[in-house]
Structure 1
Amino acid sequence: MLSYLKSMLPPLLFLLIFIALWELLIRIGGIGPYLLPTPWAVFQVLFDRSEDLSSAAGITFLSAVTGFLASIFVGLTVAVFFAEFRWLRISCYPYAIFLHTVPIVAISPLIITWLGYGVISVIVITFIISLFPVITSATNGLLESREDLQELFQLYGASRWQKLWKLKLPSAIPQIISGMQTASGLAIVGAIVGEFFAGHEAGRYGLGYYMFTAQGQFRIDILIAAILISTLQGIILFGSVTLFAKTALKRWMIAG
């Protein structure tokens, strides 16, 4: 417990210094609240609009987690096929790169045209932006298992499934986790970007929509409050992946 508190002290100290510098900058620089509100004004918005912001945060987080989980399932499945079938990897991997290089802002209107406004479009946008890191990390990890161990499995007549489950997947776990951690941050970004374009549906508004409307109304206090909440969501999702890696997958590797 004491070591945990010691590890938390530097980030908390940095946060206090950052807030103090923020307040000092406003007082010395004479910056108006329409450009940069005080920390107290942002905290006041978080308190006064806690119900609306918490509801919006729930919608955004649900969309991000759903798209993130879908990207893990699809990404790992595609990576297994890419690793097991070289001809498929050579034929289709360039299209995965193409999907990653296309700006999500450019294809969002197309997704909205097909699926309409609302949560479904946001989830699809989140899924697309989170998919590539999972595919690349998992594929590279599956292809980098040690050759001597592969030869040993081959010597004992192991099937393709046995080599995949007992050798390739355990050795690929560090890279898979790395890809999942990258995708977890992108999932929040994808949900926010998706809500800029498609996030309004029958009174159900996510944080992205709040950011969009607050910017148009010059409510920078609401905008910063929504940014802080979305940042916290990214930290929670990233931390959940890291915790999962340190517990469940570690035990699976030992058992395997």
Structure 2
Amino acid sequence: MSDAPAPRRNWARVLAPLLVGLLALGAWEGAIRHFAVPAYVLPGPVAIAQTLAADGGSLVASLLVTLRTTVLALLLAVATGVALAVLFSQSRWVEMTFLPYAVMLQVTPVVAIAPLIIIWVNDVQAALLICAWLVAFFPIVSNTTIGLNSTDRNLLDLYRLLGASRWQTLVQLRLPAALPFFLAGLRISGGLALIGAIVAEFVAGTGGASSGLAYRILEAGYQLQIPRMFAALALISLSGAAIFLALSLVSHLLLRRWHESALRAER
């Protein structure tokens, strides 16, 4: 049994990283003031917060553009990744034939192929979506394929003895068994979709009212507005953490009543 009650452990999981973060920010601000580091070299947390308060409206508007691309790319990655994983699980020959090409897409740097995609695709927003999808879809297809292929063989034999069709076996047995693997891949892909969207925006360099947050970083860099750059980076980091926490919550809600990974262990 654990020495601390469950509510106290839950609060500790929130307060411990929050306290470390506040201490790090305080040390950062103290070092900036002590060594008199100018803001155009390295701004402190106070200067970044002031920039967020002053320019928060435009930065948040650009963040929403980036998040729209991120969410659409993640949804597309889920649809294509799960469909490919199901196809791979139904035929070993199909998996051996097409999985290497999925691996090639994953290991190819998106920053190298993004200019080509932007040239080939006439629509910049569609090109950004494709770039973000390329980064995000592989963890889903890989993890879901592993999950589908890891179904208990005894249960597969039981379904076969009971005369279940391939569709019934897939829906009632293999997909539920693969759900924890899929959700693990989904948490990874959430952050990767955001990274892919940011990298694609850097390459595209699209400005105007519908520009994403990456363009605001480039713009601030060209104008030597370093606090604004850090403010945009802070929004990206917070957005990535929020995406991970949201997907972790979804995973917990779906698995908490039946899967060992989500059951509260007694220590």
* TM-score, normalised via structure 2 length: 0.89
The answer on 1:34 being equivalent to 2:27 is no
Counterpart Cα distance in 1 of 2:61 and 2:187? 25
Counterpart Cα distance in 2 of 1:39 and 1:154? 62
Shift of 1:168: 0.9
Note if contact 1:199-1:206 (Cα within 8 Å) is conserved in structure 2. Answer: no
The correspondence of residues 64-143 of structure 1 with structure 2, limited to 5 A, is 64-116=70-122, 118-143=124-149
Shift of 1:38: 1.7
Note if contact 1:68-1:130 (Cα within 8 Å) is conserved in structure 2. Answer: yes
Aligned twin of 1:225:
231
The answer on 1:10 being equivalent to 2:16 is yes
Aligned twin of 2:183:
177
Counterpart Cα distance in 1 of 2:43 and 2:123? 32
Letter in 2 for 1:118: V
Query: Which piece of structure 1 moves more, 23-32 or 128-137?
Result: 23-32
- Residue by residue over 1:106-148, the C-alpha shift from the partner in whole angstroms, topping out at 9 and shown as x without a partner, is 1000111022463222111111100111110000110011111
- Residue by residue over 1:152-195, the C-alpha shift from the partner in whole angstroms, topping out at 9 and shown as x without a partner, is 11111111111111111111111111100000010111111111
The answer on 1:58 being equivalent to 2:64 is yes
Counterpart Cα distance in 2 of 1:87 and 1:2? 50
Counterpart Cα distance in 1 of 2:256 and 2:129? 29
The correspondence of residues 125-164 of structure 1 with structure 2, limited to 5 A, is 125-164=131-170
Distance 1:116 1:208, change over 3 A: farther
Shift of 1:30: 3.2
Shift of 1:25: 1.9
Note if contact 1:117-1:201 (Cα within 8 Å) is conserved in structure 2. Answer: no
- Residue by residue over 1:71-91, the C-alpha shift from the partner in whole angstroms, topping out at 9 and shown as x without a partner, is 011000000001111111011
Distance 1:27 1:11, change over 3 A: same
Note if contact 2:69-2:132 (Cα within 8 Å) is conserved in structure 1. Answer: yes
Note if contact 1:66-1:123 (Cα within 8 Å) is conserved in structure 2. Answer: yes
Distance 1:37 1:116, change over 3 A: farther
Shift of 1:32: 2.0
Note if contact 2:29-2:45 (Cα within 8 Å) is conserved in structure 1. Answer: yes
Shift of 1:205: 1.3
Note if contact 1:71-1:130 (Cα within 8 Å) is conserved in structure 2. Answer: yes
Note if contact 2:207-2:215 (Cα within 8 Å) is conserved in structure 1. Answer: no
Q: What is the SS of the residue equivalent to 1:200?
A: coil
Query: Which piece of structure 1 moves more, 210-219 or 95-104?
Result: 210-219
Aligned twin of 2:25:
19
Distance 1:140 1:66, change over 3 A: same
Letter in 2 for 1:73: A
Counterpart Cα distance in 2 of 1:250 and 1:97? 32
Task: Work out the number of aligned pairs and report it.
Answer: 253
* TM-score, normalised via structure 1 length: 0.93
Q: Which runs of 5+ in 2 are unaligned?
A: 1-5, 260-267
Identity of aligned residues (%): 34
Aligned twin of 2:263:
none
Q: What is the SS of the residue equivalent to 2:41?
A: coil
Q: Which segments of structure 1 move beyond 4 Å, counting only runs of 4 or more? A: 1-4, 248-253
Distance 1:126 1:62, change over 3 A: same
Letter in 2 for 1:246: H
Query: Which piece of structure 1 moves more, 6-15 or 79-88?
Result: 6-15
Letter in 1 for 2:216: Y
Distance 1:106 1:157, change over 3 A: same
Aligned twin of 2:192:
186
Shift of 1:246: 2.2
Structure richer in helix, relative to its length: 1
